[in-house]
Amino acid sequence: MTPTTTTTGRPAGTDTATLQTLDTPDGPFSVLEDGEGRVLASGWTDDPARLLGRLAVRHRPERVTEGRVAAADAVDAYYAGEVEHAMQVPVRQHGTELFTEGWRQLRAVPAGTVLTYTELAAAMARPDAVRAAASVCARNAPALFVPCHRVLRSDGTLGGFAWGLDVKRSLLERESVGVTALV
């Protein structure tokens, strides 16, 4: 799918974005939405620069204003126990076909279940691309809304997470996912 472009050559909806930071049990959670209400980036930080750093420079909005984002209700619902609301929030991600498929597969992982990086690679129809599957998770800017936290190492350990293993552990516990080693 090719996005429509503005007269400046930038993708539509990326010239201005809205940023909101919410208080959550896992700490401050910031959401950056484009002008069409799609989450560009999100994570457990109150530092706008850290959040913007999750986006390639060419995909960063020209202006960021603070305000209410549409995704705030889904974040509140998630922390109130209605975790699947977050999967309904529209997101905007930029990547190759492989990355796009990986992010699509992540959104299909239901709460309460996990995949290994090997299983994610297989779901992406690239069973030998385990490192690419790990990169899909590492480059996932709209955390929570694209649940890369639901991917574990093949031995059941947590692996990495851009927002820290304590947050990943907390999210999995909130979603009632048992992991063999919480390290």
**What per-residue confidence (pLDDT) applies to 176?**
81
Residue 181: strand, helix, or coil: strand
Residue 33 contacts residue 68 (beta carbons within 8 Å): no
State the residue for tokens 């049990």.
Answer: 25
- What percentage of the chain exceeds 90 in pLDDT? 84
21-26, Cβ contacts within 8 angstroms, sequence gap of 24 or more: 21/46, 22/72, 22/75, 22/76, 24/75, 24/79, 25/79, 25/170, 26/166, 26/167, 26/170, 26/171
Question: Which one is catalytic: 17, 148, 151, 152?
Answer: 148
Report the C-alpha gap between 170 and 20 in whole angstroms. Answer: 22
**What per-residue confidence (pLDDT) applies to 7?**
31
**What per-residue confidence (pLDDT) applies to 142?**
98
> Is the pLDDT higher at 71 or at 2?
71
Asked if pLDDT for residue 28 goes beyond 60, the answer is yes
Asked if pLDDT for residue 77 goes beyond 90, the answer is yes
Residue 100: strand, helix, or coil: helix
Residue 137 among the catalytic residues: no
- Confidence (pTM): 0.87
Residue 105: strand, helix, or coil: helix
What letter represents residue 72's amino acid?
A: A
- pLDDT, tens only, 84-121: 899 999 999 999 999 999 999 999 999 999 999 999 99
**What per-residue confidence (pLDDT) applies to 2?**
34
**What per-residue confidence (pLDDT) applies to 14?**
52
**What per-residue confidence (pLDDT) applies to 15?**
86
β-pairing verdict for 63-66 and 39-43? unpaired
